[in-house]
Amino acid sequence: MSDIPLTPEQGTFAAENHGLVLKFLNENHLPEDEFYDVVIFGYLKAVKKFFSRPDMCQYSFSTMAWKEMRGALSNHLRTQGRKMRTADVISIHSGLYAGGLPLEHSVPYGHDVMAELETQLLLHELAGMITKEQMQMVRMRSDGYDIREIAKSHNVTMKCVRHVLDLACSALKQLCYDYE
């Protein structure tokens, strides 16, 4: 029902009675700039109901509009009051406790230069653990070559390349665990 636009007759009726929206906001001490968008949908729902449901004609339009606007406001406030919307917000520029370091100083963040340096250091240490040919295969793989291309360039089987890369991966994991 809410996806269907108002008919010209309903639009004219809504415009003529639009003062009800402003009256609702004023009587409930609600700032228009903050709550107009909330209650107008309830108002438009009441206009549609008034024209589409003959059983509702026994009530005055203002009663129906007031009820629908109150419902829209209630739903909005309930949604805004939920836990996920009222969670504490902590700035990364403030500490967790008085006198503590700001979070930005305690949370690591990546630098491309540092990541490149760490990678180069790990590869350097890896080079001391495997043969020169195996290291060439690792470098080719890190440059984006696939297994087939590496096998072809080194004149070995793809199974051999996978085995070498598995060994290199195990060695790298061991290096990483040794640093901890």
Q: Are residues 20 and 73 in the same domain?
A: yes
* 102, pLDDT greater than 60: yes
Q: Say which residue, 86 or 132, is predicted with more confidence.
A: 132
Full domain range(s) for residue 144 = 112-179
Q: Is 167 left (phi over 0), alpha (psi -120 to 50) or beta?
A: alpha
* 163, pLDDT greater than 90: yes
Mean pLDDT of the chain: 83
116 is a domain residue: yes
58-77 tens-digit pLDDT: 788 888 889 999 999 998 88
107 is a domain residue: no
Which stretches within the chain are classed as H helix?
8-16, 19-27, 32-52, 61-80, 103-106, 112-127, 132-142, 147-154, 158-179
Judge whether 141 and 163 are in contact, CB under 8 Å.
Answer: no
